Amino acid sequence: MNLPYGKDFRPPWPLRSGHIQTMLSSSGVRRMLLPRAAQTVMQGAEPVVVDGGGGVRLTGAYTAQKIRPQSRGLAVLFHGWEGSVDSTYVLQTGSRLLADGWDIFRLNFRDHGDSHGLNEALFHSCRIDEVVHALGDIAQRWPARTIALAGFSLGGNFALRAAMQTARVGIPLSYALAVCPIIDPSEGLFSLEESAPWFYQAYFMRKWRHSLQAKQKAFPQHQYFEMSELNQNLRGLTEAMVLRHTDFPSLQQYLDGYSVAGDAMRALQIPATILTAKDDPVIPVDAFEKLELPPNVELDIADYGGHCGFIRGYGMTSFTDDYIAARFNAVADKAALA
């Protein structure tokens, strides 16, 4: 099988702009223009609550394939920060894999989607243990010969960190793929503040504040933030969240807590792929170029694609769908021959 690579993604002008790719990736315009096939994963989807351990509950959606006599395997999808199981890129990827005969599980992180009322404590990016525990619950409830995981942006970071733990805790994960994952959170935060256009920080802050307001409404007896803290910039609000709601003594230690930079991924024992783009305005490419990776981890840096965009043309479909499907299918085919 000939696998697609980042170098194969050559969008037409003006889609060679990383900013246009990034802005279109989660836009309402894209959702309207996508073909109906990009949302088939929602048809017959079963809403699910999974066990995150220690009383934590996470929500998700399971869709069984109906294409093949036997499923290729279970594909688990992680959304990005302030995304959800119904984010456009999650639906499109899930629908593409469903068409290839994969069962699909789309997981919401804590406080994402409509799950703000399930757990009193706030979401933060170092809550990897509950995601790994949920992955174990998913693997037990929907056992499959092949379980493959894909995540986007912060979800890509979670996917890589989860993949480093699955062997230790006995979860039979076969493969992980991360699209534009956060590598060094310190660089990512600095990039949004200092080098990325202002509207990226404004976009994320608007969504985060809306999420925090939903959390406050769900638990009115608990004051999560002072109004003065909510009015701060990304760095200020993140630091307030760290000091109020985590055990980390400083913002830097929190950011280091979910970093996968440098040689951190040498601990990754299963096959994995990282796809990113040189023109990603949110996650600097420098962090990827500094990675020290084991032979089983493939790093693929495309010239174009923006942040989780990789939009082919005016039909708004994404190169990442075929990219992920080809690699998932190759892993499943290899397992079938074993």
In DSSP notation, 254-316 reads HHHHT---TTGGGG--S-EEEEEETT-SSS-THHHHT----TTEEEEEESS-TTTT-B-STT-
Asked if 165 contacts 189 with a C-beta cutoff of 8 angstroms, the reply is no
Distances (CA, A) of 247 to 32, 243, 250, 257: 42, 7, 9, 11
To the nearest 10°, the Cα dihedral for 215, 221, 222, 223? Answer: 90
- Edge-first strand listing for the sheet containing 297-302: 46-53, 56-63, 102-107, 73-78, 147-152, 175-179, 272-277, 297-302
Give residue 26's pLDDT: 84
Q: What is the pLDDT of residue 199?
A: 83
pLDDT value for 133: 98
Residue 221 CA to residue 228 CA, distance in Å, equals 19
Which residue in this structure is represented by tokens 């989607």? Answer: 113
Per-residue pLDDT, 188: 73
Query: Which residue ranges in the chain fall short of pLDDT 50?
Result: none
Please spell the DSSP secondary structure of 135-189, one letter per residue.
HHHHHHHS--S-EEEEEETHHHHHHHHHHHHHHHHT----EEEEES--S-HHHHH
pLDDT at 1: 66
Distance CA 96, CA 1 (A): 18
Q: What is the pLDDT of residue 160?
A: 98
Query: CB of 49 within 8 A of CB of 58?
Result: yes
Q: Which helix (H) or strand (E) holds 247?
A: none
Average pLDDT, the chain: 95
Closest CA to 86 of 128, 55, 47: 47
Residue 54: predicted pLDDT: 97
> Which tens digit of pLDDT belongs to each residue from 148-167?
999 999 999 999 999 999 98
Q: Which amino acid does the sequence have at 240?
A: A
Residues 6+ apart with CB under 8 A from 180: 152, 153, 156, 275, 276, 277, 280, 282, 283, 305, 307, 308
Look up the pTM and report it. Answer: 0.97
